[in-house]
Amino acid sequence: MAEQRDNDDPGLSPKDFTDSFQVAVSLVAAAMLLSANLALFAFLFGIFRKYTGGEIVLAMYGFANALSFVAIALDKFKARFRLWRLSEASLHMLEAMGGFGGSFLAQHLFRHKVSKASYQLVYWSIVLIHVAFWVWWFTIGIDWIEEIREKHRSH
């Protein structure tokens, strides 16, 4: 039998939240598993190991993505029930720490913050900065770091 709701009810019941939370937990677990697999791949093939200990970098990205995903889901829940919300600055800080992928997934899964232009402008700026850094790192940065190391070794 369908559950009856009052006309002023926002349309989200605790069961709806439980279902969404289970989906969120499943996706976070999948993201963490993917991060672990990426870290293993990087370790086995030595992509980062020679330079910076990239397993730590990949683990940081995995953790930031999981945390960012949960933060967006939590903010959506709080918005639905008109509770105290997470600040946009906090959400952007998680994205800047590398959690932009988890944020993107949660934004679209929960339809949260996707139509707010000011939020999206900052979000995509953060993504662009991360992409630009990694393009620089893998094209110029590694050689630049090696040159600096060689200069210090020769002195």
Residue 5: pLDDT above 50? no
Question: Where in the chain are the domains?
Answer: 14-154
CA distances from residue 76 to 54, 69, 70, 112, 151 in whole angstroms, order as listed: 33, 11, 10, 6, 51
Top pLDDT among 5 and 96 is at 96
pLDDT band at 6 (very low <50, low <70, confident <90, very high): very low
DSSP state of 100: H
Higher confidence at residue 31 or residue 98? 98
Q: What is the pLDDT of residues 93-148, one digit of tens each?
A: 999 988 999 999 999 999 999 999 999 999 999 999 988 888 887 788 777 777 87
Q: Per-residue confidence at 149, pLDDT binned at 50, 70, 90?
A: confident
